[in-house]
Amino acid sequence: MPGRMKLGVLTGGGDCPGLNAVLRAVVKTAINDYDMEVVGFLDGYEGLIENRYRKLTSNDVSGILTLGGTILGTSNRADPFNYPVLQHDDYIYLDRSTQGLQNFERLGLDVLIAIGGDGTQAASHGMAQKGINIIGVPKTIDNDLFGTDQTFGFDSALTTATEAIDKVHSTAQAHHRVMIVEVMGRYAGWLALASGVASGGDIVLIPEIPYHIDIICDKIRTRNRDGRNFSIIVIGEGAKPEGGEMVIKRMIANSPDKIRLGGISNQLASQIEGITTLETRVTILGHLLRGGAPTAFDRILASRFGTEAVRLSHEKKFGNMVALRGNEIKYVPISEVAGRVRKVEYESPLLGTAISLGTCMGVESLDVLKKEEVVIEE
């Protein structure tokens, strides 16, 4: 059909609840409102580079709203500008962005909707500079993507984390233990902070605030003296002690983000037991936080993001990422998002709430955050 717009879509980076909800919204809106043709690339940017795709119809996305994961598959190693290629039992890294552009043009696509976190949006910015018309959709359980008040996937992970901490709470109280729950979040503490507040955590440790072990132990002793003979600690995987380093679980050579964090909770537990002699147990939630059905909030947010991304495509407002600002769906240039991380800042209302509730953040003062304050521009 002459003049019919053709839209491509991919899901990149780590999986999270709500990806399928966005895909559903993109396909249904594109077909119902604008009579577009939709092509889905398999396994993120890997599908664009290797020309692996499938046509998507309304039937293909029927019934997927409640499903976790993504029907297109994903990859967090497929950086078009630093693409891993196996040669002689070892990986070399090549710039395959031109091949991705050629595949985009051969398919006659007018726009590509890229659903993903900071790595995907950084790659999208680069591909936009090469000439691909791109619209970004912000996704991550870490909630650390710059330019949006919240990403889809965060609320679902937060709900899972909170339910897990609630269950740990009862066994901590029964056995008079210190229980440490480690959550994901990489270099930002949004998930640890929010789940700590939601579950009534006594101590919350986040990457933005290097902690002091003596202050943590003093808090635990004070609780015991007051008759509260158990303590719940929620810690982000990127947290670290003052003057110390983050705990790296392993390194992935053929990945754009080579560092895999994890295990700081075990280090902290050993220190607490050594100082207080109190039994301390650890629960690391890990990839459990990425799985399962999206919450109602994430289903709605993902759907709103998807429909807005298609609208921007139709209006040819390329090079932008849809974003949540307050209760409204807006958009921001991808160039302002790429390479930036939204961390917990000094003026964060959620951080202020935690302090007012008496939550110990592992420090005497929050002045450390003033040095690294991140402000989201309006």
Please give the pLDDT value at position 182: 97
Q: Around Cβ 341, how many Cβ atoms within 10 Å?
A: 13
Question: Measured between alpha carbons, how far is 346 from 54 in angstroms, rounded to an integer?
Answer: 46
Is 142 among the residues known to form the active site? Answer: yes
Each residue of 66-110: pLDDT tens digit? 999 999 999 888 899 999 888 887 888 899 999 999 999 999 999
Question: Measured between alpha carbons, how far is 275 from 292 in angstroms, rounded to an integer?
Answer: 38
Please give the pLDDT value at position 346: 86
375 has a pLDDT exceeding 60 = no
Please give the pLDDT value at position 368: 62
Q: Which residues contact 128 (CB under 8 A, 6 or more apart)?
A: 134, 318, 319, 334
pLDDT band at 240 (very low <50, low <70, confident <90, very high): very high
Q: Which residues contact 242 (CB under 8 A, 6 or more apart)?
A: 210, 211, 212, 363
Across 307-331, average pLDDT: 97
pLDDT band at 365 (very low <50, low <70, confident <90, very high): confident
- The helix (run of H) or strand (run of E) holding residue 234 is strand 231-236
Each residue of 29-40: pLDDT tens digit? 999 999 999 999
pLDDT band at 257 (very low <50, low <70, confident <90, very high): low
Question: Measured between alpha carbons, how far is 179 from 278 in angstroms, rounded to an integer?
Answer: 10
What are the tokens at 81?
A: 């500008």
Please give the pLDDT value at position 173: 85
Give Rg (Cα) of the chain: 22
Contact assessment for residue 148 and residue 135, using Cβ atoms and an 8 Å cutoff: no
378 has a pLDDT exceeding 70 = no
pLDDT band at 26 (very low <50, low <70, confident <90, very high): very high
Q: Is 214 exposed, middle or buried (0-12, 13-18, 19+ CB in 10 A)?
A: exposed
Please give the pLDDT value at position 245: 86
- The helix (run of H) or strand (run of E) holding residue 123 is helix 118-130
Each residue of 314-323: pLDDT tens digit? 999 999 999 9
228 has a pLDDT exceeding 80 = yes
What proportion of the chain, given as a percentage, has pLDDT over 90? Answer: 81
Catalytic residue among 79, 142, 155, 202: 142
Report the relative pairing of strands 90-94 and 134-138 from DSSP bridges: unpaired
Q: What's the Cα-to-Cα distance from 240 to each of 199, 215, 236, 237, 361, rounded to whole Å?
A: 22, 14, 9, 9, 12
Question: Measured between alpha carbons, how far is 15 from 115 in angstroms, rounded to an integer?
Answer: 10
Question: Measured between alpha carbons, how far is 260 from 237 in angstroms, rounded to an integer?
Answer: 9
55: nearest Cα among 32, 73, 39, 71: 39
Question: Measured between alpha carbons, how far is 293 from 208 in angstroms, rounded to an integer?
Answer: 30
From start to end of the chain, where are the E strands? 6-11, 37-41, 53-56, 83-87, 90-94, 111-116, 134-138, 178-183, 203-205, 231-236, 248-251, 259-261, 280-284, 320-325, 328-333
Q: Mind listing the domains of the chain with CATH numbers?
A: 6-152+294-337 (3.40.50.450), 158-290+345-372 (3.40.50.460)
Question: Measured between alpha carbons, how far is 206 from 189 in angstroms, rounded to an integer?
Answer: 5
Please give the pLDDT value at position 256: 57
Contact assessment for residue 314 and residue 29, using Cβ atoms and an 8 Å cutoff: no
